Structure 1
Amino acid sequence: MSTSTTLPGGTWTLGDSAVSRFGYGAMQLAGPWVVGPPADHDGAIAVLRAAIEAGITHIDTSGAYGPHVTNELIREALHPYPAALLVATKVGADRDAEGGWPTARRPADLRRQVEENLRTLGVEALDLVNMRMGDAQGTRPGSIAEAFETLAGLQQQGLIRRLGVSNVTPEQVAEARTVAPIVCVQNMYNLAHRHDDDLVDALAGDHIAYVPFFPLGGFSPIQSQELSAVAARLDATPMAVALAWLLQRSPNVLLIPGTRSTAHLHENIAGAGLSLSAEDLAELDRIAL
């Protein structure tokens, strides 16, 4: 499968692997509310293959998506995986019959989830596993040590290559790092939600990636209007501006926008390459105030 390497942002090294800073998040490939199969199975396969053909080498997934649906789609579309591809997954939550996301962080739960990810992705070792904390409403205080020690043990057994954390507080990041090295932090962060500004910069200094999710999530109506006004002036979409701002925020920021459409995938790639001037950035920075 031929690929292109002309993606905005260049690359970042996760552990010992250089990945495209523009990646792809697979959550939207599952059915409504991230439950069940996609309405367009062939379209989902096409999006995944188009991502690889565009040069994307970082795909984000989770066994909880579907559950197992996005992993199985990734395997069907891309296995045997290109050598340059890194597939990141998450553990720490299950799905219930109502579509909820109950936490599952006991050692036995985490081992089961790792084994399920290995099986559904069709690999002997997972490239990257993020330990997800908090809940669907956001981060929550509390110790990550026991859960992360379990993942570190599975890493020592050769089932996991790299470790990260997701939906975490700065204190949990620090605690995890006392247990084992991490290569990334995956949190909600965007133009309107700048609570992790200090964390982004601190991680950059330690060469640890920061992977924001919901690039347009949680904006107030006023903030959305401000973003739309900047986008209109630049003859761009709000998503393009939001993605471009994230790429220019810090070199350790990696993007994982999701989509079900190959056309939208290419729109996101083009949008993330938008060049923002100092004046644009100053105006965008006021959105979070």
Structure 2
Amino acid sequence: MPTTTTSETTAAGSGTFQLGGDLPVTRLGFGAMRITGPGIWGPPANPNEARAVLRRAVDLGVNFIDTADSYGPHVSEELIAEALYPYPEGLVIATKGGLTRQGPNRWLPVARPAYLRQQVEMSLRRLRLERIDLYQLHRIDPDTPVEDSLGELRALQQEGKIRHIGLSEVNVAEVAHARTIVPIVSVQNRYNLAYRTAEELLDYASQENIGFIPWDPMATGKLAQPGSVLDSAAKDHHASPAQLALAWLLRRSPVVLPIPGTSSVTHLEENAAAAAITLTDEEFDNLAKLAS
């Protein structure tokens, strides 16, 4: 029987995952990149709405919020603290460092040890935290040995300023090498129903029980054209193609932690409703075939 979604569906329906074996998070999280200005630069057009989105996410059962020091830069982290501090028990805020900003939609990797240490300290201050539960290397810096970058994060972890360490935009070989330096509990790559180049990495993460955080999770591209398999399946579930794309990700592997982002409370509630969608085996397989 098709699942009917409602605006009151909570993220709890997506289940939980234990990051690092000891940090439970709702599998359907919230990505806080879009609560900034155009080009992920500067403040949002409506800061009050951005803060309302963050509060509503928590109301909807989300306990995993993903951000980065480069979102704004700094704007996303500051808004999170303004909206949610003092934080409710169990809320996990993941942030990232290692990308610098030169303007709207411009990003340059810098992961020198001294720079990463500075960014961790500044993120702690902006987020009003004593320890960051998940700190992710936003990009491997081609000009800095990864051993140096991760070695500094390991030192910060030993100092109690970071709980767990993750990586972003990496391949299997890079993750395997990183794990010889420091425990890695998550990877974050672009992955969605229409863009599946990270399949090998996802399979590796599933095998090793590493959290896989797909960014851009709701992209459907041409797959959602009227009359398509995705469009028809969405109508059967009284849902949107984007909601079905999220449901497909949640079904793809128990380590997948989608982080759909938005600056709208209405869209946030629609995203949360995807947690209530149950795909049949046939629907999952048919959707999986679309990208290929």
RMSD of aligned C-alpha atoms?
2.0
- What pairs up with 1:242-257 in 2 under 5 angstroms? 242-257=245-260
Relative contact order, higher structure (CA 8 A, sep 6+):
2
2: distance between equivalents of 1:187 and 1:157?
Answer: 28
2: distance between equivalents of 1:20 and 1:220?
Answer: 27
- What pairs up with 1:77-226 in 2 under 5 angstroms? 77-97=83-103, 99-133=105-139, 144-217=146-219, 221=222, 223-225=223-225, 226=228
Give SS of 1:179's match: coil
Deviates more, 1:65-74 or 1:147-156: 147-156
Contact kept in structure 2, 1:25 and 1:59, CA below 8 Å: yes
Distance change (3 Å), C-alpha of 1:165 and 1:45: same
Distance change (3 Å), C-alpha of 1:19 and 1:173: same
Report percent identity of matched pairs.
Answer: 45
2: distance between equivalents of 1:122 and 1:228?
Answer: 43
Gaps of 5+ in 1: none
Amino acid at match of 2:92: L
Aligned to 2:271: 268
Give SS of 1:65's match: coil
Distance change (3 Å), C-alpha of 1:28 and 1:98: closer
Aligned partner of 2:285 among 277, 282, 285: 282
Give SS of 1:231's match: helix
2: distance between equivalents of 1:96 and 1:196?
Answer: 28
- 4+ residue segments displaced more than 4 Å: none
Give SS of 1:194's match: coil
Contact kept in structure 2, 1:241 and 1:272, CA below 8 Å: no
Contact kept in structure 2, 1:133 and 1:144, CA below 8 Å: no
Give SS of 1:127's match: strand
TM-score (norm 2): 0.89
Aligned to 1:26: 32
Amino acid at match of 2:17: W
Give SS of 2:82's match: helix
Contact kept in structure 2, 1:12 and 1:252, CA below 8 Å: yes
Aligned to 1:43: 49
1:84 CA displacement: 0.3
Contact kept in structure 2, 1:26 and 1:258, CA below 8 Å: yes
Aligned to 1:228: 231
1:43 CA displacement: 0.8
TM-score (norm 1): 0.90
What is the total number of aligned residue pairs between the two structures?
279
Contact kept in structure 1, 2:12 and 2:61, CA below 8 Å: yes
